[in-house]
Structure 1
Amino acid sequence: MNVVLVKTDKSRTGSDLFTLARARLPGTGKVAELRAQAFATFERLGLPHRRVEEWKYTDLRALMRELLPLADAPDAAALARAKAALESVAVEGAIKLVLVDGVFAAELSDGAEAGISLQTLRDVLENEASESRAELLLTTSTDPMISLNAALATDGVVVGIADGVQLSRPLQLIHVATAGKASRYTRSHLQIGNGARVNLVETCVAAEGASAYQANDTVIISLGDDAALSHIRLMRDANDATNITSVLFTVGANSKLNLFNMTSGGSLSRLQGFITLTGEDSELTINGVNLLRGKQHGDMTLVVDHAVPGCTSRENFRAVLDDRAHSVFQGRIIVKPDAQKTDGKMMTRALLLSDEAEADNKPELEIFADDVSCGHGATSGALDESLLFYLRARGLPEKQAQALLIQAFVGEAIEAIEDESLRERVIDAAQAWLEARYHE
């Protein structure tokens, strides 16, 4: 039996934390029962560690060690700092949905448009019949951090996009941290109807004064038939923050899902994606970039389940590592027995700018069908010395020459973003990281 005592800086065990948080958690009856069951699952499993295969390279017992108490609900001062933080990350023209320290901030968010339904998780769990909406806390995953999220989720957004709606404006979900040495747990749901088209931007940012916080967010998305979703994630947490985010997708027939993630902030971060292709002839494209330095640890773990015939998936990951940074990529493609004509590929590449940097890559294939085309690859290495010499011979300083080569290295992943304005925003974020490194 795997027993773990998780103590906070106030010497509380994990059980104490859940007990003290209960008064702030929305929902009674069946919802409260599901929370208790989810926390019991987490206590049984404990914080993931290196002996758990899926967490082999991201040992939370060693890296995270403790669970911090829930952040207080944001007051006027916190909301003011959150508003200031939005200026640097808000996408012009987007429909903004803002969560501050795990609580939906209506005064910083935009209203819904025609064809969009919007509720907060708190309102749904508190005001609607618990028996009928308790499923918002349910997932089929047995991951301990998803179970912990179900137990402690304080808020989130529940969004529905009607059939056939083609949003002309991006939908932006923004997580803002204002607290220090505290935690947030949010759970959001997005239901995209048949034939709908959506650009979703998800951003994590720290307000001035936020430090050493922990974020545990879960986003659950259902994509209908003949639909299209572009989901872009930009992680800009505080330098000493921890962010564990889980995204769970189900994709219908003849649909397209394009997922992009870039991590450049935070001390410890992990994006774990669980994507199930449930409809035939759907297309999945995943691109990721880690830009890490110092002692940053960034993990992207993906499980793609081809459950039906005729689907295509592409995974392309790039990591740029300086100093003693550590990047992890784990990609698993599962092809079920009935999923004939599957076409699945993944490739991960790491660029090491320091002798002390570390990249762990673990691509996997589990194939139970015979008529498939699947493959994977992984490489790691330093900058090409001949190209570097070529640029320096033409008068470029070393770090500027390196920056040009790094831009080319990550450019393939970023170019997969179809929307030009959103692609330019990601390019600007990558350039900001390079410029900060150049001026050190």
Structure 2
Amino acid sequence: MNAVTEHNALTEPGAAGFLQRFEGLRARLPGRGLPWLEAMREAAAESFREQGFPTRRVEAWKYTDLAPLKEAGFGEALTPVDSAIPLPRAAAPRRVVFVDGRFSAELSDPDAPVRSLARHLDAAEGLLGSLARNDGVPLAALNTALFEDGALIDLADGEDGGIVEILSVVRADRPVALHPRHLVRLGAGAKLVLIERAWGHGESRYLHSPVLEFQVAADAHVTHVRIQQEARAGIHLSTVFAKVAEKGTYDSFLLHAGARLARAEAHVTLAGPFSAAHLDGAQLVGDGQHADCTTFLDHAAPDCPSRQTVKTVLAGRSRGVFQGKIHVHQIAQRTDGYQMNQALLLSDQAEIDSKPQLEIYADDVKCSHGATVGALDETQLFYLRSRGIPEAQARSMLIEAFLLDAVETVRDETARAALVEVVSGWWERTAA
């Protein structure tokens, strides 16, 4: 089966090119004939027209420059969707596959509790756009205007969705831009482990810009593991919105391990008493790469704990960014928030920008944050070498120990194993 479209010309660079693309595709985008969706797309396009791409003058984008995105023109993917696509080993018992932003039924497990959003837009009314903001988040606005497909997961009260992998494969032989939209709703007491993986091929520059919306009802629990393994020339800009009701839990782990330029942004609201969030992660940043983990955690109810630990390893001429903001509303008494960023620099040309933030309006809280930056421990390195371990292997062992300490926070064994597979041997592959 081929998924080929007519509008395949490269657009002009910058925001104008994406708006031009919207004008050319608007009559053929999924949801034509649904007034609520057409109005949503028009409003999003207008919002993006007013804002454009964020610049470094915007405080939240101070450390990440989108110049590589603004300078390039991107077209629409023309990749055939067929079973001949080489795929990585499955990370979960059930997997659904998107190829160049489009759902592939041939490559997906029919038993997975996942539907194609493009084919079930009627079921998305009231859910799509319920969390994602246009103003102040221009990439979300752009996604709303241009998305063509995505995953729809809607679990009933008490339903256990098990472990599911969403694999997004990008095969770029030309500059393309993809904007998948994934929607996840968990009813009261529902459970889900979601492994979301971006896997890129090809040497061309491309943009992969997914947006995910999570609605987590009372007593529901979702584990969301994001593994970013884009092609080396790729640009990955993802945005997550999550709203957690009373006694619900949103557990997440982000692993950056690819792309020339990567930024993962998360907006999480603890909306009900005793709800909880864990936003952990690791960034593996090699020579010439830029990785950014930015989070906004909104404590909007009392008695809510949150935890965040992000570790970054940087090699060669690379740059890592961590920005984490905890906002505690006046009503959010007895908040318990913790935030830590740790960076390991393997080169004197590497750079880390760390900006943990607390904004507190309640008086009965326990909140702390911190950041550490350092190099490999020479004493530990000497100890390993004195035991006959070659220097390269000794360095790799210390780096893996640093990273695996972060991965251990993931409770689900299947999800943790998928992370360990990527982390293990990273230094040998980078240094080779």
What is the TM-score of this pair, normalised by structure 2? 0.91
Q: Which of 345, 360, 364 lines up with 2:357 in the alignment?
A: 364
1:161 match: 155
Task: Report how far residue 67 of structure 1 moved.
Answer: 5.8
2:100 match: 101
Structure 2 counterpart SS, 1:170: strand
Identify the range of structure 1 (341-350 vs 401-410) with the bigger mean alpha-carbon deviation: 401-410
Relative to structure 1, is the Cα distance of residues 244 and 66 closer, same or farther in structure 2, using a 3 angstrom cutoff? same
1:58 match: 64
8 Å Cα contact 2:92-2:414 kept in structure 1: no
1:31 match: 37
| Cα separation, 1, equivalents of 2:421 and 2:328 | 37
| Cα separation, 2, equivalents of 1:408 and 1:203 | 23
| Cα separation, 2, equivalents of 1:7 and 1:55 | 25
The one-letter code matched in structure 2 to 1:98 is V
Q: Which has the higher helix share?
A: 1
Relative to structure 1, is the Cα distance of residues 186 and 66 closer, same or farther in structure 2, using a 3 angstrom cutoff? farther
Structure 2 counterpart SS, 1:79: coil
Report whether the alignment pairs 1:223 with 2:216.
yes
Task: Report how far residue 105 of structure 1 moved.
Answer: 1.0
CA offset digits 1:19-59 (Å, max 9, x no partner): 12324411233322321221121121111111000111112
Structure 1 counterpart SS, 2:118: helix
Q: Which of 412, 416, 420 lines up with 2:405 in the alignment?
A: 412
CA offset digits 1:297-342 (Å, max 9, x no partner): 0000000000000000000000000001111000000000100000
CA offset digits 1:125-170 (Å, max 9, x no partner): 4xx39xx827614523521111111110111122111111223x41
1:3 match: none
2:277 match: 284
Superposition pairs of residues 173-192 of structure 1, within 5 angstroms: 173-179=166-172, 180-192=174-186
What is the TM-score of this pair, normalised by structure 1? 0.90
2:117 match: 121
CA offset digits 1:209-263 (Å, max 9, x no partner): 3631111100101111111111111111000000100011011111222100111
The one-letter code matched in structure 1 to 2:77 is D
8 Å Cα contact 1:30-1:134 kept in structure 2: no
| Cα separation, 2, equivalents of 1:66 and 1:203 | 27
8 Å Cα contact 1:124-1:133 kept in structure 2: no
Relative to structure 1, is the Cα distance of residues 427 and 34 closer, same or farther in structure 2, using a 3 angstrom cutoff? same
Task: Report how far residue 11 of structure 1 moved.
Answer: 12
| Cα separation, 2, equivalents of 1:80 and 1:135 | 31
Task: Report how far residue 81 of structure 1 moved.
Answer: 4.7
Report whether the alignment pairs 1:202 with 2:196.
yes
Structure 2 counterpart SS, 1:175: strand
| Cα separation, 1, equivalents of 2:30 and 2:222 | 30
8 Å Cα contact 1:231-1:259 kept in structure 2: yes
2:54 match: 48
Superposition pairs of residues 255-270 of structure 1, within 5 angstroms: 255-270=248-263
Report whether the alignment pairs 1:241 with 2:213.
no
Alignment gaps of 5+ in structure 2? 1-9
CA offset digits 1:178-202 (Å, max 9, x no partner): 1331011111101111111211100
| Cα separation, 1, equivalents of 2:89 and 2:245 | 31
8 Å Cα contact 2:17-2:73 kept in structure 1: no
| Cα separation, 2, equivalents of 1:398 and 1:79 | 45
The one-letter code matched in structure 1 to 2:344 is L
| Cα separation, 2, equivalents of 1:233 and 1:379 | 24
1:133 match: 125
Superposition pairs of residues 139-158 of structure 1, within 5 angstroms: 139-142=132-135, 143-158=137-152
Superposition pairs of residues 4-19 of structure 1, within 5 angstroms: 8=12, 13-19=17-23
1:72 match: 77
Superposition pairs of residues 386-401 of structure 1, within 5 angstroms: 386-401=379-394
8 Å Cα contact 1:200-1:230 kept in structure 2: yes
Report whether the alignment pairs 1:384 with 2:383.
no
The one-letter code matched in structure 2 to 1:111 is P
| Cα separation, 1, equivalents of 2:279 and 2:311 | 11
Structure 2 counterpart SS, 1:122: coil
Relative to structure 1, is the Cα distance of residues 229 and 378 closer, same or farther in structure 2, using a 3 angstrom cutoff? same
Task: Report how far residue 103 of structure 1 moved.
Answer: 0.9
Give the RMSD, CA atoms, in angstroms.
Answer: 2.1
Task: Report how far residue 12 of structure 1 moved.
Answer: 6.9
* Identical-pair percentage: 37
Structure 2 counterpart SS, 1:20: helix
| Cα separation, 2, equivalents of 1:420 and 1:108 | 24
| Cα separation, 2, equivalents of 1:301 and 1:11 | 22
8 Å Cα contact 1:353-1:383 kept in structure 2: yes
Q: Which of 308, 315, 338 lines up with 1:322 in the alignment?
A: 315
8 Å Cα contact 1:237-1:265 kept in structure 2: yes
